[in-house]
Amino acid sequence: MARHKGSSSNAVPFLKWAGGKSQLLQAFEIRFPLELKKGGITTYIEPFIGGGAVFFHIALNNRTQFNYLWDINEDLVITYNVIKNNCELLVNELKQLEGGYLKGDEGEREKRYYEIRDEFNKEKCGLNYTTFSSDWIHRASQLIFLNKTCFNGLYRVNSKGEFNVPFGRYKNPLICNETNLMRVSVTLSDTIVRLGDFSLCEMYADENTFVYFDPPYRPLNKSAFFASYAKDGFYERDQLRLAELFKKLDKKGAKVMLSNSDPKNEDPEDTFFDDLYEGYLIERVPAKRAINSNGSLRGAINELIVMNYLPPAVTPLNRQLTEL
Ligand SMILES: C[S@@+](CC[C@H](N)C(=O)[O-])C[C@H]1O[C@@H](n2cnc3c(N)ncnc32)[C@H](O)[C@@H]1O
pTM score = 0.91
- Residues 169 and 221 reside in one and the same domain: no
- For residue 179, what pLDDT band results from cuts at 50, 70 and 90? very high
pLDDT value at 197 more than 60: yes
- Residues 227 and 317 reside in one and the same domain: yes
Q: Which of 23, 28, 68, 71 has most ligand 1 atoms within 8 Å of CB, for mutation?
A: 71
- Residues 137 and 206 reside in one and the same domain: no
Q: What is the pLDDT of residues 274-301, one digit of tens each?
A: 999 999 999 999 988 665 544 545 567 8
The DSSP annotation for 64-133 comes to: -SEEEEEES-HHHHHHHHHHHH-HHHHHHHHHHHHHHHHTS-HHHHHHHHHHHHHHHHHHHTT--SSS--
Distance in Å, CA 215 to ligand 1 centroid: 5
Angle value at C-alpha 147, between 82 and 23, nearest 5 degrees: 100
pLDDT value at 1 more than 50: no
Give the pLDDT of residue 224.
Answer: 45
Question: Higher confidence at residue 218 or residue 118?
Answer: 118
pLDDT value at 10 more than 60: yes
- Residues 239 and 156 reside in one and the same domain: no
Distance in Å, CA 275 to ligand 1 centroid: 23
Give the pLDDT of residue 2.
Answer: 39
- Residues 315 and 207 reside in one and the same domain: yes
Cβ atoms 77, 136 nearer than 8 A: no
User: Is there an atom of ligand 1 within 6 Å of 303 CB?
Assistant: no
Last residue of a domain, one of 118, 143, 178: 178
Q: What is the pLDDT of residues 31-61, one digit of tens each?
A: 999 999 899 999 999 999 999 999 999 999 8
CATH, residue 132: 1.10.1020.10
Residue 188 lies inside a defined structural domain of this protein = no
The DSSP annotation for 26-65 comes to: HHHHTTS-HHHHHT---EEEESS-TT-HHHHHHHHTT--S
Give the pLDDT of residue 266.
Answer: 85
- Residues 121 and 167 reside in one and the same domain: yes
User: Is there an atom of ligand 1 within 6 Å of 232 CB?
Assistant: no
- For residue 233, what pLDDT band results from cuts at 50, 70 and 90? confident
pLDDT value at 167 more than 90: yes
* Number of domains observed in the structure of the chain: 2
**Rounded distance, CA 252 to CA 209, Å?**
10
- For residue 227, what pLDDT band results from cuts at 50, 70 and 90? very low
- Residues 200 and 172 reside in one and the same domain: no
- Residues 159 and 94 reside in one and the same domain: yes
Q: Can you count the helices (H) and strands (E) in the chain?
A: 10, 8
Give the pLDDT of residue 70.
Answer: 98
Domain extent at residue 123: 77-178
Distance in Å, CA 107 to ligand 1 centroid: 34
Q: Which of 14, 44, 68, 72 has most ligand 1 atoms within 8 Å of CB, for mutation?
A: 72
pLDDT value at 101 more than 50: yes
- Residues 156 and 252 reside in one and the same domain: no
Q: What is the pLDDT of residues 12-29, one digit of tens each?
A: 999 999 889 999 999 999
Q: What is the mean pLDDT of residues 73-84?
A: 97
211-220, 225-234, 263-272, 273-282: least confidently modelled range: 225-234
- Residues 62 and 107 reside in one and the same domain: no
